[in-house]
Chain A
Amino acid sequence: MKIIKNKKEKGFSLVEVLVAISLNLLIAGMIITIASSSLRHIRTIKDHRNLYSTASFLNNQFTYWIKQGTNFEVLPANPGDQLKIRIGSSTTTIAKDLNDRITIYDGVDTEYLTDDNIKVDNLVFTKMDNSVRIALTLNTGNPTKTFSATTTVAQRN
């Protein structure tokens, strides 16, 4: 009786399968780690971009309002200082509210200078002889992602 060995049989040995599965798992793990790290970085970039654009916008707004003012008054208040700017016969007030946003009140309407994604940690106005110094700290809800800066805006002659 002849035993014919089937030469066409193909396949992987158990060791080959184990090696391939291990490599697949290793590479899949690397992909997941790298991808999650990248996603975290993308969120960080988005948060910082939001902080920078808000800080820049606030600087423009402070400059716009203070340059129009003929007189200023800084009132220490809770939760942050209030800056009262006299413009003509009206008074515009810039302040931090209880929801950590910056508001501007012109005697009629209240507008928000920051959106819900940005929290104002700190807003300090210091009245100088002919200018106002502004210290500001913003965050995105995550205490590690903050932006702090100090600047000054002089009143117009």
Chain B
Amino acid sequence: MGKINLNKFNQQGFGLIEALVGMVVALIIILAFTTLISRAVVYNSINGKQLKATLYLQEMIEATKDLEQSSDGWNRLTTSTSPCYTICYPEISGSSWIVNSGTSTIDGIYTRSFMVEHVCRSTTTNEILTTPCNPADLEYSSTTKKVIAEIEWNDQLGPNHLELEAYLYNFNP
């Protein structure tokens, strides 16, 4: 017949202290995980704002591409009195895009604007050059302009800025 050990002091298992220590360790691990999740939530929100900013920025370039396609629109953008040689923003008037001087605010957090620059092209090769125009062999193009659009906004990490550039060409000079 085998012996049955009834000595209660030799019984083994988890006591209250071990359970308590285990809980504290689990709490620490979950707190660390939660910190990571919180950061992910912040960056997720930042990504959403950046996506909207990209769409609003793209809209400005597309609005100038709309204006590029009509003589009225081209004149609105590039006439010598156009506000876009300093700073302007696109706005809808009826079914047309118009330009106004200054910047516009969207959704209360985005500030967007664009400007038009003269483009220097070689009279011989027609190549676009970034150097200042030299009257001897280069001239500012009357049919090509450069548009620089920018948008600014603030998020949880601070101020942000995005910029897009495109060339416009007058197909109906």
Chain A contact residues, CB within 8 Å of chain B:
8-10, 12, 16-17, 20-21, 23-24, 27-28, 30-31, 34-35, 37-38, 41-42, 44-45, 48-49, 51-52, 55-56, 59, 126-131, 133, 147, 149-155, 157
In the complex, how many residues of chain B place their beta carbon closer than 8 angstroms to a beta carbon of chain A? 42
B residues with CB within 8 A of A: 9, 16-17, 19-20, 23-24, 26-27, 30-31, 33-34, 37-38, 40-41, 44-45, 47-48, 51-52, 55-56, 58-59, 62-63, 65-70, 73, 92, 95-97, 169, 171
Query: In the complex, how many residue pairs between chain A and chain B have their CB atoms under 8 Å apart?
Result: 122
Show 7 residue pairs from A and B whose CB-CB distance is below 8 angstroms, ordered by the A residue.
Answer: A20-B17, A48-B45, A129-B70, A149-B55, A151-B56, A152-B63, A152-B66
Bound CA span A51–B73, Å: 35
Interchain CB contact under 8 A, A152 and B41: no
B65 contacts A154, C-beta separation under 8 Å: yes
Main SS of the interface on chain B? helix
Report chain A residues within 8 Å CB of B45: 48
Q: CB-CB < 8 A to B92: which residues of A?
A: 126, 128, 133
* Contact in complex: B65, A131 (CB < 8 Å): yes
